[in-house]
Amino acid sequence: MKKCNVSVLSQHLLPLKILLLLGMAVGDPRTKTVQIMCGNQREHNTTVFVPNFVSTMDNISEQMRTSGFGVAVTGSGPDTNYGLAQCYGDLPLLDCVLCYNEAYTVLPQCFPYNGGRIFLDGCFMRSENYSFYEEFRGSEDRVECGNTTRKSSAFGEAIRQVVKHAVESAPSNRGYARGEVSVSGAANESAYVLADCWRTLDESSWRQCLENASASMLGCLPWSEGRALYTGCFMRYSDKDFLNKEMGNGSSRGTTIVIVVSVVSSLVVLVVGVAIGFYIWKHRYIQKKRRGSYDAEKWAKTLNDSSLNFKYSTIEKATGSFDIVNKLGQGGFGTVYKGVLADGREIAVKRLFFNTRHRAADFYNEINIISRVEHKNLVRLLGCSCSGPESLLVYEHLPNRSLDRFIFD
């Protein structure tokens, strides 16, 4: 059921924008996960929490494409979702979107806990049920030290020098700084540093966060790598050049404009040619889609009238309102519960994190096809429910078989 989980990148990146940014994506999006930290309190109401989280992150996605930073709030009361995401200042916008897309995919692993934060080497993302935007220190602050190479005292001195400069200069540059310095007495060896603070903080908070983070991170010396993962900022040093050259001033939007202007003259013929080709392809695609599809309301009615459809109330009753005692497991895109229908049949229900009701045609077609597949090594898909507040997949439950082979990610 791959179509039930549409990636943020495919949902939101406009083709023309991709075209303009191709020339900028020459750096490294740095999508490696450094650390993911989940909260210790469970969500209050799953039915409300999941759509609130998805709405918040989709809202932030729109902002990330234009500024490399975004905040959003969805809901009210204990189920309110506060979100923040930010790419580090040297990351080009297209690489920023790729990094955010990776964070968006990984952070739901914290479910069913109502808070979490993830540090990647290129971006940061956090979700909570309270406003955390002015926090710059916390109990989750930590340092990650590399342990591959012990460096010389000259390297350590170079790192201290460039870190000090970054801490001093970042507060006057929206909390962002980067630096490179040659190591004394070592030919062709340099030390590299990146510092970035969350833009929701003020200058005083930036300075305090970086001072605390740098002091802790320097404790990693003499190792060749060190990262400070703090509530309000991120710092990294290395003997390897991990910095993207294109975004040296920390202003993604301003640098993007400069790059676009500089390359457009040499790429104008290519751009026009690709744009024309895209227009022809899009025109044919739209015509084909209009000829071969119905409107969403008709597909939703078809699904609701189908024997494959289960009422949401039926599934909710069968699983005891998705009681935790009936939870079988959890994957990256959903949680699976055991249930018993009124006729005694045992079922396994997968609650999808990402709602698919607005894609009723694709959802119905795939359910219709996959439900007919029978094989001795497959758990059969009985149907689905998309009439309630979330999308559900209903499988037969075979207690003596390994369900995780079929319905866990």
User: How far is it, in rounded angstroms, from Cα 271 to Cα 169?
Assistant: 39
Domain at 360, CATH number:
3.30.200.20
Q: Is residue 192 part of a domain?
A: yes
| Signed CA dihedral, 17, 68, 162, 32: sign only | negative
Considering the domain architecture, whether residues 41 and 82 belong to the same structural domain is answered as yes
Q: Is 92 helix (H, G, I), strand (E, B) or coil?
A: coil
DSSP β-bridge partners for residue 36? 118
Give a yes or no: residue 263 inside a domain: no
Domain span at residue 97? 2-128
Tokens 């790729």, located at residue: 98
Same domain, 324 and 385: yes
Same domain, 146 and 168: yes
Residues 51 and 123 in one domain: yes
Instruction: Please report which residue ranges of 111-251 form alpha helices under DSSP H.
Output: 153-169, 203-217
Q: Which residues are CB-contacts of 318 (< 8 A; sequence separation ≥ 6)?
A: 339, 340, 341, 342, 347, 349
How many domains are there within the chain?
3
Of 250, 265, 293, the position where a domain reaches its end is 250
Same domain (yes/no): 33, 111: yes
Give the tens place of pLDDT for each residue, 284-312: 666 555 554 455 455 555 655 666 788 88
- Do the domain assignments include residue 283? no
Q: Which of 207, 230, 250 is the last residue of a domain?
A: 250
CA–CA distance, 362 with 144 (Å, rounded to integer): 44
Task: Check whether residue 120 and residue 6 sit in a common domain.
Answer: yes
Residue 230: which CATH number? 3.30.430.20
Cα 237 to Cα 193: distance, rounded to the nearest angstrom: 4
Are 149 and 76 within one domain? Answer: no
Q: Do 77 and 166 fall into the same domain? A: no
The residue ranges of the chain whose pLDDT is under 50 are 1-26, 247-266, 269, 292-293, 296, 404, 406, 408-409
Is residue 312, in this structure, part of any structural domain at all?
yes
- Residue 278 pLDDT: 67
Do 169 and 246 fall into the same domain? yes
Domain assignment present for residue 258? The answer is no
For residues 189 and 239, membership in a common domain is answered with yes
DSSP letter, residue 151? P
- pLDDT recorded at residue 376: 56
∠ CA 17-8-133, rounded to 5°? 100
Q: What is the pLDDT of residue 263?
A: 44
Helix axes 296-305, 360-370, angle to 10 degrees: 30
Q: Indicate if 171 and 57 belong to the same structural domain.
A: no
Point out the domain boundary residue: 73, 106, 128: 128
Number of Cα atoms under 13 Å in the Cβ half of residue 366: 13
User: Does some domain include residue 285?
Assistant: no
